[in-house]
Amino acid sequence: MELMEMVCVDCRFIPGLLWEDEEDPGLSTVQIYRIFINDHMSNLKQYKKLLSADEISRAKRYHHLNDHDRFIISRAVLRMLLARKLLVQPSEIVFNKGINKKPFVGEPSNASIEFNVAHSGEYILIAISDSPIGTDVEYMDPGFHYSEVMKFAFNENEMASIANSASPLTTFYLLWSRKESLLKATGKGISDDLSVTVCLDGTNQVNASAIGSKFNWRINSFMVGPGYIGNIAYCSDKPIYFSTVKNDRILAD
């Protein structure tokens, strides 16, 4: 009988995280950028000019105006952040899709850069690195009946952690968001293996085939804003740079 290959998934929560003013540290760090959507609404016209015809068409297909505006802001800011590091114009970047439709930079073709985007409610997160990376943000909806997805998403130890927590709702979203960020990083996506993708505090042993990766992973959890929890999954030893993208500064650079 063939033994399962196991990898380590180390999960930590960062208390009292301070978000820096947005700068460009290059690729010497793993970077996570926070965008407060309302702060960027005044830039919509300028942002739209940076998008491709396909992206503009995609934005128009959203039925709700909020989704339309959020997509334009996230794509434009992503283009501007990547353009700095690739030394090209934002409009010159071409996105392609890989395994499980995970997007990547197709042009410039020699771009050694990885990114991932997440959004929820009022916030967008963009993670950038020179190695595989994933991010997730969740609004912790107090009215969500999470018990309906417990057995699908968590193993017995994780369910016990939620049940015994001083704030079960927070712990539910913390663990769920960790799984999301990791499976986005590996390109596996949400699957039937969600319950065996263990993401408790500390170091977890996880079946490599379940997450679609033979790398060891780190997941850092943090508060994005009041009522919002975020995670970043990465497989490098580089430090993480947390910053907020300001609406005036991103256009000025």
pLDDT in tens, 24-43: 777 788 999 999 999 999 99
39: DSSP letter: G
Q: What is the pLDDT of residue 1?
A: 36
- Closest by CA position to 27, among listed 107, 125, 128, 115: 128
Domain ranges of the chain: 6-252
CA dist., res. 238 & res. 145, Å (int): 37
- What is the pLDDT averaged over residues 148-164? 94
Measured CA distances, 174 to 32, 65, 95, 149, 232 (Å): 17, 29, 30, 14, 12
Q: What is the pLDDT of residue 252?
A: 66
| Residue 148: pLDDT band with limits 50, 70, 90 | confident
229 near 223, Cβ under 8 Å? yes
Whether 2 shows a pLDDT value over 60: the answer reads no
| Angle (CA) 128 113 212, round 5° | 80
Higher per-residue pLDDT: 186 or 108: 186
Type and span of the H or E element at 125:
strand 123-129
Residue located via tokens 């997805």:
149
Judged by phi (left if over 0) then psi (alpha if -120 to 50, else beta), residue 248 lies in alpha
Residue located via tokens 């996506």:
189
State pTM to two decimals. Answer: 0.94
| Residue 253: pLDDT band with limits 50, 70, 90 | low
| Residue 112: pLDDT band with limits 50, 70, 90 | confident
CA dist., res. 43 & res. 78, Å (int): 14
DSSP 175-220: HHHHHHHHHHHHT--S-TTGGGS---SEEEEEEHHHHT--S-EEEE
pLDDT per position as a tens digit, 174-225: 999 999 999 999 998 887 789 999 999 999 999 999 999 999 999 999 999 9
Residue located via tokens 């256009």:
251
Q: What is the pLDDT of residue 22?
A: 66
CA dist., res. 93 & res. 123, Å (int): 24
* Maximum alpha-carbon separation in the chain: 61
pLDDT per position as a tens digit, 35-65: 999 999 999 999 999 999 999 999 999 999 9
Whether 162 shows a pLDDT value over 60: the answer reads yes
The partner residues of 243 in beta bridges, in order of sequence, read 20, 33
- What is the pLDDT averaged over residues 101-130? 92
Higher per-residue pLDDT: 9 or 189: 9
Q: What is the pLDDT of residue 248?
A: 79
CATH of 6-252, one of 3.90.470.20, 1.20.1530.20, 2.120.10.60, 3.40.50.620: 3.90.470.20
Q: What is the pLDDT of residue 62?
A: 94
CA dist., res. 17 & res. 238, Å (int): 17
pLDDT per position as a tens digit, 72-107: 999 999 999 999 999 999 999 999 988 777 889 999
